[in-house]
Chains A and B, each alone.
Chain A
Amino acid sequence: MSKFPLYNTTKSREMFDRATKVIPSGIYGHLGPAEGQWIPVNRWPSFSEKAQGSYFWDVDGNRYIDYMCAYGPNVLGYNDPDVDAAALKQLKLGNCTTAPAKVMVECAETLVDTVASADWAFFCKNGSDTTTLATMAARAHTHKKKIIFLKYYYHGDFPWAQKIDYPGITPEDVANNIICPWFDLDALQKAYDDNNGDIAGLIAQPYDHGNFKDNEVASKEYWQSVRKWCDDHGVVLIIDDVRAGFRLDLAGSDHYYGFKADLICFCKALANGYNMSALCGGEHMKATVSGITYTGSYWLSGVPFAACVACINKMKALDTPTMFRRLGTMVTEGFKKAGAEHGFDLKVSGEPALFYLRIANDDNLMLHQEWVAECVNRGLFITSHHNHFINASLTEDDIKLSIDIAEDAFAAVAKNHPELKG
């Protein structure tokens, strides 16, 4: 008998059907059923009613403990009172105004004081805005054309960051992209030589947290050698810290791995869900960025800046990276132990603050997808293809509940697969 009865998601399906009539694919992108890997779709909640702390409630009234954190932005907990108070205070003063709110300067100063490689901050809205600006800045700075990417990359969905076989992408959109493997300096040199040195920048996440695969953390030695290679060849080193930023190290993931990026991109954990992103960089890149034509209607709105300042100050006060490492280790150790009790070999990879899970009993993720569906349908929201996220409102009681649900889900999958006992 299951300790955690399966949720009914009837209203979610009804709401999703309603959405498909007026929204392409109902919910597009990473929060939707295709990219979000709702396998099978009827086990997943589609729309939420409300959220608080580490939980959200779907339109059927089911509660989920959420290890996706809106795919990252929820870093302190949904509806964090300190961040919301700062945002509401700024809202009453002014948000989207002709002269930007003065809190913009305070926000930039906060980032410069916090991020080790930052001498300035340029604000936008989404991660893609910053990765795009970073590659433009690399080209403007070097007067060169090509950008090196590391395999399994994701730097947003703007055409230049997609792949040649994606719908709507032309070969010209991606003609200046060179893809090299991770952890292979010789490949970087070969790419440089094959392109007669016409390399403007190298853009990479701080470690290989690609989807659909075990994540591979980097070493300080690796990054220091890449840093030296970029310096030796005049290549701008861009760190896309949109996903991992502030979860490993408040001074930036480049600081965590012992080097300084030329440019570093932030978004998700900047402002606890208030919409903003930032490109930061060293003094040597500031004049170049000043000369680039780049702006957006809402990029200088005041409310997210106020939220960002409050969010960063609270993350500092709580020392969230240390907390996330401890909590991430605790929850994944619990999941592994629960899995082992039912014969499952649960692999945990990546940094504990952004842990990635995979059941390794088969070679096709089908058991893993079954387990994830059983978890989600019992109120533990995880995914089968993507790293997870820890937030600061997560308690040890929440983790105990998570492990209990995970254990119940393992039992359900084991019952459906008696062959595993052999």
Chain B
Amino acid sequence: MTDARTLAYINMYAVLGTLENLCELDDKAKEIISTLENPVSLAFDVKDGPSATLTFSKNGCRMEDGVNSKCDIKIPVSSCDKFNKIIDGVVTPIPTKGLTKINFLLKTFTALTDRLTEVMRPSAEALKDPDFFRLNTLCTFYTVSVAISQIGNQDAIGKFSASNIVDGDIQIGIKDTVYATIRVKNNRLITIKQASPKPRAIMEFCDIPLANALFAGTVNSIDHVGNGNITIRGLISMVDNVNRILDRVALYLA
């Protein structure tokens, strides 16, 4: 079982949030934003759901929580379900502010989200290109890392898992490649897209192909703990509970 509200939080922070990483890692995304002469900020405000502002410039993209009052474009959305349909591309977003920037929405932003879809939902053929395979894995890593926190904070079963996690940092990563931190305080989770300065627990995948296979659901993490391809250390109960949430990420992102 999934719920629309949790999915909306995942779509906002984990899926749209990955635009930050796409603009940093992908040449095609960099090319799209290179045409921006001035920064443009776009806010989504979902009733009874998440709100965030994305700011794009030719140097990249960053997301901040909440609606920035100085945003150039504001898109209020009447429900989580409707926001999820916008992300699925079956409902067209209508801004209430920034009609003069509609060109950005129709061209630049649409091109970026199309590219994100291409990267996150690739064809088997596209994944044969090693560079694209790496890009897909790294973007998925960030999406999954952020989705863990959203599920731990919003989903009924995810909240049960989070209720069993003690305070502190859980560092997840792909060895010598990319890291993220799930920071836990009072059973609330927040993802920071970098390594922890002082982790209480660590889960590290040995390489990109293993991480990709885990995210694709073609291998099981327990098997790879056993053969040493996944390293775990520290307060393993923290890793254990994050893995239970991770199990639900696939349910939402399928």
Contacts and interface: CB of A to CB of B under 8 A. Distances in A.
B79 to A, nearest CB: 25
Contact of B244 (A17, A166, A363, A365): A166
A369 interface: yes
B219 to A, nearest CB: 11
Given A17-B227, A41-B225, A42-B228, A163 B236 contact: no
A2 interface: no
Interface string B211-249: 000000000101101111001111111000100110110
Contacts of A369: 233-234
Contacts of B160: 163-165
Interface string A140-184: 000000000000000000000001111100010000000000000
B233 A34 contact: no
Interface residues of A, number: 29
Nearest to B244: A165
Contacts of B245: 165
Contacts of A211: 237
A42 B248 CA distance: 30
A351 B160 CA distance: 30
B158 interface: yes
A212 B234 CA distance: 10
B158 A165 contact: yes
Given A165-B161, A364-B200, A364-B201, A25 B223 contact: yes
A24 B223 CA distance: 8
Nearest to B241: A165
B247 A20 contact: no
A334 interface: no
Among A25, A39, A165, the one with the most B-chain Cβ atoms within 10 Å of its Cβ is: A165
A25 B223 CA distance: 5
Contacts of B222: 25, 34
A70 interface: no
Contact of A385 (B168, B227, B228, B236): B236
Given A164-B160, A385-B236, A34 B231 contact: no
B41 to A, nearest CB: 37
21 contacts: A20-B227, A25-B220, A33-B225, A34-B225, A37-B236, A39-B232, A40-B231, A41-B226, A42-B228, A164-B157, A165-B158, A165-B161, A166-B244, A167-B247, A212-B235, A364-B168, A364-B201, A366-B233, A366-B234, A369-B233, A369-B234
Given A165-B160, A165-B244, A20 B233 contact: no
A296 B201 CA distance: 41
Contacts of A16: 226-227
4 closest cross-chain pairs (CB), A and B: A364-B200, A165-B244, A33-B226, A364-B234
Interface in A363-383: 363-366, 369
B231 A32 contact: no
Interface residues of B, number: 27
A369 B201 CA distance: 12
A197 interface: no
A327 to B, nearest CB: 28
Contacts of A366: 233-234
A40 B232 CA distance: 8
A61 interface: no
B49 interface: no
Interface of A: 16-17, 20, 24-27, 32-34, 37, 39-42, 163-167, 171, 211-212, 363-366, 369, 385
Nearest to A166: B244
Nearest to A151: B164
A40 B225 CA distance: 9
A14 to B, nearest CB: 12
Contacts of A26: 223, 226-227
Nearest to B232: A39
A163 B237 CA distance: 14
Given A164-B160, A165-B158, A166-B244, A365 B235 contact: yes
Nearest to B1: A171
Interface string B16-60: 000000000000000000000000000000000000000000000
A361 to B, nearest CB: 14
A251 B182 CA distance: 47
Interface of B: 157-158, 160-161, 168, 199-201, 220, 222-223, 225-228, 231-237, 241, 244-245, 247-248
Contacts of A24: 223
B91 to A, nearest CB: 31
A27 B235 contact: no
Given A33-B226, A39-B232, 4 more contacts: A25-B223, A40-B228, A40-B231, A42-B228
A364 B247 CA distance: 24
Contacts of B228: 40-42
B157 A212 contact: no
A120 to B, nearest CB: 37
Q: Which of A41, A369, A385 has the most CB of B within 10 A?
A: A41
Nearest to A26: B226
A164 B245 CA distance: 11
A165 B226 CA distance: 22
A364 B228 CA distance: 20
A32 B223 CA distance: 10
A364 B236 CA distance: 9
A363 to B, nearest CB: 6
Nearest to A170: B1
A312 to B, nearest CB: 35
Contacts of B157: 164-165, 171
Contact of A32 (B226, B235, B241): B226
A385 B220 CA distance: 22
A206 to B, nearest CB: 22
Given A42-B228, A364-B168, A212 B233 contact: no
A363 B168 CA distance: 10
Contacts of A37: 236
A365 B200 CA distance: 8
Contacts of A42: 228
